[in-house]
Amino acid sequence: AQTVTQSQPEMSVQEAETVTLSCTYDTSESDYYLFWYKQPPSRQMILVIRQEAYKQQNATENRFSVNFQKAAKSFSLKISDSQLGDAAMYFCAYRGGGSNYKLTFGKGTLLTVNP
Amino acid sequence: SQTIHQWPATLVQPVGSPLSLECTVEGTSNPNLYWYRQAAGRGLQLLFYSVGIGQISSEVPQNLSASRPQDRQFILSSKKLLLSDSGFYLCAWSVSPGNQPQHFGDGTRLSIL
């Protein structure tokens, strides 16, 4: 079974600085997808960024980028120029390829942004 | 554009009472639908998913059940709630297949007394 591990229960960053959130996963599949979701205090789950395993290029969405290391099964999220609105719980998630619809989530990292 | 509606937002129920949470999706057809539970301080646990009307897959055996009476309607139910059913319940949808992400509703906070 696939597992997703987020080893940092909590992280903090100063406003305007950069922070990296870690995620590792375990799978025997070669085709899969990885996601980062953000859950602010409102509890809504918001997609931040996604990565297809077959793509070597790291995904980027504005201030958010990932460092995808397929061999190491690592998928870290980098937030640049951190803003107060980035404060939230961040979840890493894995979905297998093909007709496998299931998302497996990590336990999350609580990010605090200090002014 | 697609939207997902989930209600109620908050629910307080006594132990042993029934439960019905509803989720509807607009702006898309034949979506995959999902129910998740998020216990306090934990990640999301997939409870049920559905790839079509009347098709339900259960991931975790428990006293909850799900139904999909219409293409864009997904219902989470229980005949008798337990204290351990407390949590935050999220409905989600996605298109299939491919790399498309799941999109979540605003969630229902369920407290069992």
**Subunit contact A91:B43, Cβ cutoff 8 A:** yes
Would you give per-residue pLDDT tens digits along chain B (113 residues)? 889 999 999 999 999 999 999 999 999 989 999 999 998 767 788 999 998 999 999 888 688 999 999 999 999 999 999 999 999 999 999 986 656 788 999 999 999 99
Give yes or no for A99 touching B (CB within 8 A): yes
CA distances from A34 to A78, B6, B69 (A): 15, 25, 31
State the pLDDT at residue A1.
67
Mean pLDDT by 10 residues, chain A (115 residues): 91 97 94 93 90 92 96 97 96 83 90 96
State the pLDDT at residue A100.
63
Give yes or no for A101 touching B (CB within 8 A): yes
State the pLDDT at residue A70.
94
**Subunit contact A107:B43, Cβ cutoff 8 A:** yes
> Which residues in A lie closer than 8 A to residue B45 (C-beta atoms)?
105
User: Cα separation of A35 and A20, whole Å?
Assistant: 15
State the pLDDT at residue B85.
92
Give yes or no for A102 touching B (CB within 8 A): yes
State the pLDDT at residue B99.
64
CA distances from A17 to A13, A83, B42, B96 (A): 7, 9, 27, 38
